Amino acid sequence: MTQQVHHLIGGEYVAGQGSSVITVTNPANNGPIAQLNCATEAEINQAVAAAKAAQQQWKEVAVSERARVMLRYQHLLKEHHNELATILAKETGKTFEDAKGDVWRGIEVVEQAANIASMMMGETVENVARGIDTYSYIQPLGVCVGITPFNFPAMIPLWMFPMAIACGNGFVLKPSEQDPMTPMRLAELFEEAGAPKGLLNVVHGTKDAVDQLLTHSDIKAISFVGSVPVGQYIYKTGTDNMKRVQAFAGAKNHMVIMPDADKQTVINQLVGASVGAAGQRCMAISVAVFVGNTKEWIPEVAQAIAEVRPGLWDDPDAGYGPLINPAAKARVLELIESGKAEGANCLVDGSDFTVPGFEEGNWVGPTVFSGVTPEMRIYKEEIFGPVLSCTEVETLADAIALVNANPFGNGTSIFTNSGAAARKYQHEIEVGQVGINIPIPVPLPFFSFTGWKNSFYGDLHAYGKQAVRFYTETKTVTARWPESGIVEGQNLTIALK
């Protein structure tokens, strides 16, 4: 029997009245595990109205009390860590340990949201002119929206609504319809932590729901994570409708390997960074750039990756799980075939991989190409699967030029024992997040997630200080309190005197 996934509207869990029904499937066998009714226009309007009404009260709640809600919430998330990871693993196909990591990286952002008071401090200067002081306040926007992808159904919602709500806003979350059960459990625990009803609303649906949120007059800010074409659409449509928008899009992340790097460390780190989570990470390493004689390491890298065995979420020996759906699998397989056709050397081919007893699942085995050039589709396009492309250059300067020529700028890394090489790379590379001997440099939440170029559309990034700026406005006050009996003369200029 499949589970009915509800909407959360104004503190009430409702199945919804929408006639469009989506079946949530198990990626390991494509069998049904849940279903949801897409929210109607009226239901989305109700969710926005509930968030707006709750926000009018919430913005007056002391910032210290808002922080205490976040403290209680992170405590509940930690208590339910394994439960959340189990739900997540079953609906995404991730291994249990990987699912736990997904939840934990979200918990870290909630911990940062509990520090909201210090992040919302304004500024002040006394005597900017004679007897005049200027000071600023950070104040909430109103109702904000999060549109989240399938690949991190715990972490990415937790990037968004805890920070927005801690800042004093109401929130409407539209999670991926492919794995909605994890976000719903996050919402249940948020209310259990003491959040007022209606402050967080969750609605399910597809493009129609997104379009309504993008154009709704009561929505002030939109946060989105997904692909390039959708990110561009979200950004343009939202900003055309006078919304503040941050849209995180695609990626093509490079790992540069210098001759002085430790070979075994490189191999160990590259294996997990390339095929971990079935390559369905926006920060996955999909291109390994071998500098100089390190190209001789490619066969050993391929052998190590070939030993990774995909499997079910509760298999402790599984390296990763299936792709999210049959369309994702078909696209990855088509790109693998394009690599072969365009002349890349397929050292490891996972096209025909399957798990016994789960042949209907969305399985793709680890795949490694060498001899990849920038003209090939497997280099130009984000594959979003367990496929590593290996390319070779002669010098560090060549590697920097290669990476900088790529239209994406989400993340990159360099492995080296040379401080000079590392500094040159971090200084000259045109990518927002750089790892030095760290393959996936996702910053902890007291920093911000800072993709560049076609990996991000907007001005202010997720979590950290930039998230506070994204979810708030600054009000600046200039004040004079004349002493009793002192009469100021007329001032016909703009200058303060």
- Residue 1: band (very low, low, confident or very high) from pLDDT cuts 50, 70, 90: low
**Sheet with 3-5: strands ordered across:** 3-5, 32-37, 21-25
Tell me how many degrees the CA angle 245-200-75 measures, rounded to the nearest 5.
Answer: 110
Q: Write down the number of H helices and E strands in the chain.
A: 16, 23
**366-410 pLDDT tens trace:** 999 999 999 999 999 999 999 999 999 999 999 999 999 999 999
Q: What is the pLDDT of residues 21-64, one digit of tens each?
A: 999 999 999 999 999 999 999 999 999 999 999 999 999 999 99
Q: Is the pLDDT of residue 139 over 80?
A: yes
Average pLDDT, the chain: 97
pLDDT confidence tier of residue 277, bands split at 50, 70 and 90: very high
Q: Which of these is catalytic: 38, 144, 167, 282? A: 282
Q: Is the pLDDT of residue 492 over 80?
A: no
Residue 217: partners with Cβ closer than 8 Å, 6 or more residues away: none
Q: Specify whether the CB–CB gap between 201 and 50 falls below 8 A.
A: yes
Q: How far apart are CA 385 and CA 387, in angstroms?
A: 6
Confidence of residue 248 (pLDDT cuts 50, 70, 90): very high
Residue 126 falls in which region: left (phi positive, over 0), alpha (psi -120 to 50) or beta: beta
- What integer pLDDT is reported at residue 130 of this predicted model? 92
Helices (H), ranges, 59-142: 63-79, 81-92, 96-113, 116-119
In the predicted structure, residue 487 carries a pLDDT above the cut 80: no
pLDDT band with cut points at 50, 70 and 90 for residue 138: very high
- How far is it, in rounded angstroms, from Cα 20 to Cα 39? 8
Q: Please indicate whether residue 492 or residue 118 has the higher confidence score (pLDDT).
A: 118
pLDDT tens digits for 162-172? Answer: 999 999 999 99
Q: What is the pLDDT of residue 312?
A: 98
Is 282 one of the annotated active-site residues of the chain? yes
Tokens of 72: 């209680």
Q: pTM to 2 decimals?
A: 0.96
Q: In the predicted model, is pLDDT for residue 464 greater than 90?
A: yes
State the DSSP code for 449. Answer: B
* Closest residue by Cα to residue 223 from 139, 137, 162, 284: 162
Give the pLDDT confidence score for residue 348 in this predicted structure: 98
Residue-level pLDDT at 490: 79
Across 305-329, average pLDDT: 98
Distance from C-alpha of 407 to C-alpha of 426, rounded to nearest angstrom: 18
Contact (CB, 8 A) for 121 and 200 = no
Instruction: Determine the Cα–Cα distance for residues 431 and 413; give it in Å rounded to an integer.
Output: 10
Q: Return the percentage of the chain with pLDDT > 90, whole number.
A: 96
* Torsions phi, psi for 69 (to 5 deg): -60, -40
Contacts of residue 171, Cβ cutoff 8 Å, sequence gap at least 6: 51, 143, 144, 145, 146, 160, 161, 164, 165, 199, 200, 201
Task: Quick: pLDDT tens for 73-110.
Answer: 999 999 999 999 999 999 999 999 999 999 999 999 99
Identity of the residue numbered 234: I
How far is the C-alpha of 175 from the C-alpha of 189, rounded, in Å?
Answer: 16
